Amino acid sequence: MYRVILVDDERLIVRGLSSVVPWNELGCEVAGTAYDGKTGLELIREIKPDIVLTDIRMPNMDGLTMLAAIRSEFPEIQTSVLTAYRDFDYAHRAITLGVCRYLLKPSNLDELMEAVRLMVSRLGERPARNDGPETETVRAAGNHLVRAALAYMKDHCSEQHLSLNEVADHVYVSQWHLSKLLNKETGQSFFDLLGSLRIARAKELLENPSMRIHEVSEAAGFSDVAHFSRTFKRYAGCTPGEYRNQRS
């Protein structure tokens, strides 16, 4: 029996899916349910299901990034979307990230069963499948996650305590998986990327002659001036003061 997780913030939808779909006839069983994306991902990591049927418009959740996270971290899981969000471009991007079916609410039983049958058939074909299409969707998912992570890091790099764990939580993957993706896509570690972003921010701030070096250091996310100066010289080849003098 293939294990299924259902994720939707509407409890009535979850109860309906659990009871109306003839899971046993389809060779499946509902192994878990969740009412938000965060809990859903925790269940996925715990249960490691074969199939996920999920909404993507839930509070405090970036649906596309969540789908990318599932595809990138758990490429064998088959995923379909059941949502009220009617947007062709969004649906196309979801399919690019490996979604089997993009179903619109209210969806009838025949559509749901067809989606489940497709996912079951793909699971049954796994040993004989050509890796090409799957590799492309996994790569697309990884690219999406890295872009989302870098955007978050850029927006928050001035925060002194920004961590790999915080960024990984934002893009719905484990620290280990995000670290691997960043290194694969950029050739740099999380800390090297964060350092580059902070130094780029510091260079912008140094253009303002009214800001003292210690103020630039703090505003760029460094805990002390000595560490800031060492890091700046490592990335820029000169001290912050020398950089400012060169620019004046």
Q: State the Cα–Cα distance between residues 148 and 109, nearest whole angstrom.
A: 35
CA-based nearest residue to 72, from 3, 174, 4, 158? 174
Query: Each residue of 163-214: pLDDT tens digit?
Result: 999 999 999 999 999 999 999 999 999 999 999 999 999 999 999 999 999 9
Q: What is the CATH number of the domain that holds 236?
A: 1.10.10.60
Supply the pLDDT for residue 130: 59
Are 7 and 104 part of one and the same domain?
A: yes
How is 179-213 classified by DSSP, letter by letter? HHHHHHHHSS-HHHHHHHHHHHHHHHHHT-TTS-H
- Number of domains, the chain: 3
Are 13 and 83 part of one and the same domain?
A: yes
Q: Helices (DSSP H) in 131-187: which residue ranges?
A: 131-156, 164-170, 175-186
Q: State the Cα–Cα distance between residues 22 and 171, nearest whole angstrom.
A: 33
Are 152 and 210 part of one and the same domain?
A: no
Query: Each residue of 27-77: pLDDT tens digit?
Result: 999 999 999 888 888 899 999 999 999 998 887 788 899 999 999 999 999
Query: 232 pLDDT exceeds 60?
Result: yes
Q: State the Cα–Cα distance between residues 158 and 220, nearest whole angstrom.
A: 5
**What whole-number percentage of the chain has pLDDT above 70?**
96
Supply the pLDDT for residue 127: 58
Range of the domain at 90: 2-127
pTM listed for this prediction: 0.86
**What whole-number percentage of the chain has pLDDT above 90?**
81
Q: Taking the CB of residue 158, how many other CB atoms lie within 10 A of it? A: 17
